[in-house]
Amino acid sequence: MEKIALMRNVIAIVPGSQEPDKWVIAGNHRDAWIYGGLDPSSGTAALLEVARAMGTAVKQGFQPHRTIVLANWDAEEDLLGGSTSWVKDNRAKLLQDGVVYVNLDSAASGPEFDGGSTPALADFLRETTKAVPHPDIPGGSVYDHWVKASKSGTAEVNEIVGATDYTAFQEHIGMSCIDMTFDGPYGVYHSMYDNYFWMSHIADLGFRYNVTCTQLLALILWRLANADILPLDYSNYAKSALAAIEEIEKMVGPQKSIRLERARNAARRWLKEASAWEKKVGRFLVSEKSLNPKRASEVNSLLMDVERAMTEEEGLKSRAFYKHLVYAPQPTYRTELLPRIFEAIKAQEWNDIPRYEEQLARAFDRAARLIRESSRQL
């Protein structure tokens, strides 16, 4: 029976000491199809433990520089209702002050770390996993196990696109995001067998991987909330944009050729500025020089705005909520790269493509200018 019901999000706030207006956000949903032992309750357990640990730290006199927001979403299974409504209600605040969103849908069904992010956070995620021990490798880290388990022999960070509660943050606001889990066999997805017995006797005996995921989540949040300069490496993003341009050009097929040279050249300019910035900030951090708080805040605001530059207020023609120029989900949850052009090709609306390419070129050039200004401020 269909009915209208109230959604209830639960929000906890750990106030920042230096930049309390800036929000580092972590979220997990608590609604489930049936019992939800793994999806989402393992993630909810991790979020609650992080809240407990941070509360203890605050009582002992520790306080993050930026505010940490912990969100327990309702109605994720109902079209991401809780997180999307909260983002829409707080849109102006998030556009101004949203730093990063970290999503934890399901914490752990096995030993294999599976991490995804907006490209700018990929290197940060890799580095943070090096600091968390993995229970299956004595003296080894989550990073070590990640590399060992990978078919490529590298710590592969997935690009994330609109399948869970990070969707509104990344593709509506333009916030950098992380999504993660510890994977294992999961044949009980969305069924009555995804329960406490399955979690405790089959998926994660002793809850070792759930503990590891919790430790990693806490460290990610603490580092993001306290970093003097936000660890946003946009050279990876520019490279992803260049790869997306190449892929979308191949999508057309032999019947009609498109070449997105304006967007490609702008992405190359972005890559050049981002690479120079990352070398400069690397030298700065090694030198152990200090940056006064006001100047650091200005630099970080510019870096946050680079991600915002990847959005256009217009949104997709048929789904205006999705404002991101590089990523959007198809209705099937499959990825759309350069979604405006992707959908124009699918609809054979060839005359729209030059305008959409111009939007991309402007966005990439805005990103380059923002990074150049960050470099001047450093």
Could you read off the pLDDT of 107-160 as tens digits, one per residue?
Answer: 999 999 999 999 999 999 999 999 999 999 999 999 999 999 998 999 999 999
Query: What's the average model confidence in pLDDT over 21-47?
Result: 97
Q: Which two tokens stand for residue 69?
A: 């927001």
H/E run at residue 226: helix 208-226
Confidence of residue 291 (pLDDT cuts 50, 70, 90): confident
pLDDT score recorded for residue 299: 97
Per residue in 311-362, pLDDT tens? Answer: 999 999 989 999 999 999 988 778 899 999 999 999 999 999 999 999 999 9
pLDDT score recorded for residue 191: 97
Predicted TM-score (pTM) of the model is 0.97
Residue carrying structure tokens 């991987």: 209
- In whole angstroms, give the CA distance from residue 370 to residue 364: 10
Domain with CATH 1.20.930.40 in the chain: 234-377
10-226 placed in CATH 3.40.630.10 = yes
Confidence of residue 163 (pLDDT cuts 50, 70, 90): confident
Query: What's the average model confidence in pLDDT over 278-301?
Result: 92
- In whole angstroms, give the CA distance from residue 160 to residue 167: 9
Which residues are designated catalytic?
A: 76
Backbone angles phi, psi at 141, to 5 degrees: -110, 170
Domain with CATH 3.40.630.10 in the chain: 10-226
What is the number of other CB atoms lying within 10 angstroms of the CB of residue 288? Answer: 6
3-state SS, residue 262: helix
Query: Could you say which architecture CATH assigns to the domain 234-377?
Result: Up-down Bundle (1.20)
pLDDT score recorded for residue 356: 98
Percent of the chain with pLDDT over 90: 92
Residue 185 predicted with pLDDT over 90: yes
More confident residue, 71 or 291: 71
Evaluated on CA atoms 92, 164, 102, 59, the torsion sign reads: positive
pLDDT score recorded for residue 2: 80
- Is 14 exposed, middle or buried, given 0-12, 13-18 or 19+ CB atoms closer than 10 A? buried
Query: What's the average model confidence in pLDDT over 214-227?
Result: 98
Per residue in 228-238, pLDDT tens? Answer: 999 999 999 99
Beta-carbon contacts of 262 under 8 Å, excluding residues fewer than 6 positions away, are 357, 358, 360, 361
Q: Which two tokens stand for residue 104?
A: 């934890």
pLDDT score recorded for residue 215: 98
C-alpha distance from residue 25 to each of 100, 134, 213, 220, 320 (Å) = 6, 25, 16, 11, 24
Q: Which two tokens stand for residue 156?
A: 């592969």
- In whole angstroms, give the CA distance from residue 199 to residue 104: 17
Residue 5 predicted with pLDDT over 90: no
Provide the 8-state DSSP code for 311.
B
Contact 38, 194 (CB under 8 A): yes
